[in-house]
Amino acid sequence: MKKLFSLAIAAITASSAAICPSSVATADDTGNYLLSCTFEGSEDGWSGRGSASVEASSQFSLNGRGSLYCSGREESWNGASISLGSSFKAGSSYSFSVNVMYDSGKDTDQYHFTMQYNDANGDPQYVKIASAEILKGKWAQLANRSFTIPADASDISIYIETGKSTSDFYVDDVVIAENNVAVEGAAGGKYIPGDICSDGVIDSFDIICGRRLITSALNDSAMLKNADVDKSTDYSINDLLLLQQYVTGKITEFPDNTPEPVVTPFEYEENLRYKAAPDEYFEQCEQQGTVTLENYNGIRGNKSLYVYTPYNYDPEKQYNIFYLMHGGGENEKTLFFQSDTMIQNMLDHMIMNGELEPLIVVTPTFNGTGSEAGNFYEELRASVIPFVEGKYSTYAESTSEADIKASRMHRAYGGFSMGAVSTWAVFQNNLDIVGYFMPLSGDHWQGDGGYGKAKSLADAVDKSGLKQNQYFIFAATGTNDMAYPNVSPQIDEMKKMSQFVYTSDFSKGNFYFLLAQGNDHWWKHVRHYIYDGLPYFFHETGE
């Protein structure tokens, strides 16, 4: 052990490029390989999946001179794939291994080694062989020494994909061996706080690497990521002390000192223009919130909804809440689980970058016996708000009617298409418990023509007794949206009425209509309206 320690110290002092022991292990040479792809000058039978393309590359390699380069990915499931043919038997177990590396984008990214097959009914199925969060610029092995191919599987293929991102990546040394054969591959390369040497373990060598790193000018993002054991976003002497305590057994886990998101002061624009969210906002964020499935028994029976809570959600704090409704033919899963929505990723990025205060977002459904979009306001009042805000921490001190009403300026409701129909209905019937409204690509269905629809809303305001600074509407659609011809006359009539003061500066007015040139009736467009409008919510107190 003393000799190994001396060798490590010598390697550290030799050069800054040799701070850590080698992260690349030698290839296994047992001869038990049933499939071996090394990509030395060819794709070895691999192909692109979805929009992705693959090619042999000499840019990077784990062993030898080549690897497989995968690019052109438009979705996370687009990747590199190969069919296994008839050589591998359903119901049998094998040892699977692949090595992956990416060199652009986030400091860490989630990668999956996945199997696709058809079941007994001929329907495609997917199962993860191995997964890992890996470090940018480092080779990492995804391996499973004993993975059983499902018993009814046919048309079997394996592929590499990411959790959420669409980054290019490299693949090398893909191996399938007999069951329980240990296949050597890249050592380390994974995001493991404390594993500074990136060898897959946290030990005294990491302390040596940490000491050298604290005094060097080396800017190795992967090493610094694992060295920041308390997640403070800055590697310091405190991280090194925590690492020493962990290795010596004084502590068994590292503290989480993730800084609170910095929220910059918000400034309204009087005439807000449409702006699409950055593409990367729909990829996985470093500071991920949580999406939780909840079930409740309400006035229309047992139903489900999903609740997004922000990164570092603290039940001791109070959060604004946004109820966001899907469109016709959709359900409560739509907003979080479709490739053209992925609203949670956008929220994560906005919060992390200080564009949006941390908040709770709920996706209920108007589907179900007797529940239509236009009368969901009944279920919202009687069932959804009491259930959600009785469990999650909002500004409602309790779920009593009085406390729900008192917290209305911290509560918003919005929706797309038929969800917008439900939004206008909530405005007309639930003004006493909701302060902010976001109808997207949909008009009000109460009243005849633009004037009749607008007047029914104005009448609801008069009946409520609320002042102009106690309710706010941010509506939006696209010029090519099929909803535009219906909602536009309603908006024009609302602009003429004293109850609605038209401006996107909600410190001066309470009503705005964002119009996006060329956008049609599609979530991939509509989600950007949420990006533009949601930061304008929850700044006014109504006093």
Q: What is the pLDDT of residues 104-137, one digit of tens each?
A: 888 889 999 999 999 999 988 999 999 999 999 9
> What's the pLDDT score for residue 263?
54
- Architecture label for domain 279-536: 3-Layer(aba) Sandwich (3.40)
Least confident of 264-278, 294-308, 519-533: 264-278
* Most confidently predicted of 23-27, 196-200, 432-436: 432-436
Under the banding of pLDDT at 50, 70 and 90, the label for residue 255 is: very high
pTM of the model: 0.56
Pinpoint the alpha helices (H) of 368-411. 376-379, 385-391, 401-406
Residue 181, C-beta contacts closer than 8 angstroms, at least 6 positions apart: 28, 30, 32, 95, 145
State yes or no: pLDDT of 502 exceeds 80.
Answer: yes
Classify domain 21-178 by CATH number. Answer: 2.60.120.260
pLDDT of 24 above 60: no
State the average pLDDT over residues 138-153.
95
Percent of the chain with pLDDT over 90: 78
pLDDT of residue 18: 36
Could you give phi then psi for residue 173, rounded to 5 degrees? 45, 70
Cβ(387)–Cβ(298) under 8 Å?
yes
**What is the rounded radius of gyration, in angstroms, for the C-alpha atoms of the chain?**
27
Q: Please give the structure tokens belonging to residue 153.
A: 């599987």
Quote the CA–CA distance of 489 and 495 in Å, as a whole number: 10
What's the mean pLDDT in 426-437? 98
Using pLDDT thresholds of 50, 70 and 90, give the confidence band for residue 25: very low
Q: Give the residue range(s) of CATH 3.40.50.1820 domains in the chain.
A: 279-536
The answer to whether the beta carbons of residues 101 and 60 sit under 8 Å apart is: yes
- DSSP lists the bridge partners of residue 140 as 100
User: Residues spanned by CATH 2.60.120.260 within the chain?
Assistant: 21-178
74 pLDDT band, cuts 50/70/90, is confident
pLDDT in tens, 289-301: 999 999 999 999 8
Task: Identify the CA nearest to 135 among candidates 257, 69, 56, 220.
Answer: 220
Examine the pLDDT at 21 and tell me if it is beyond 60. Answer: no
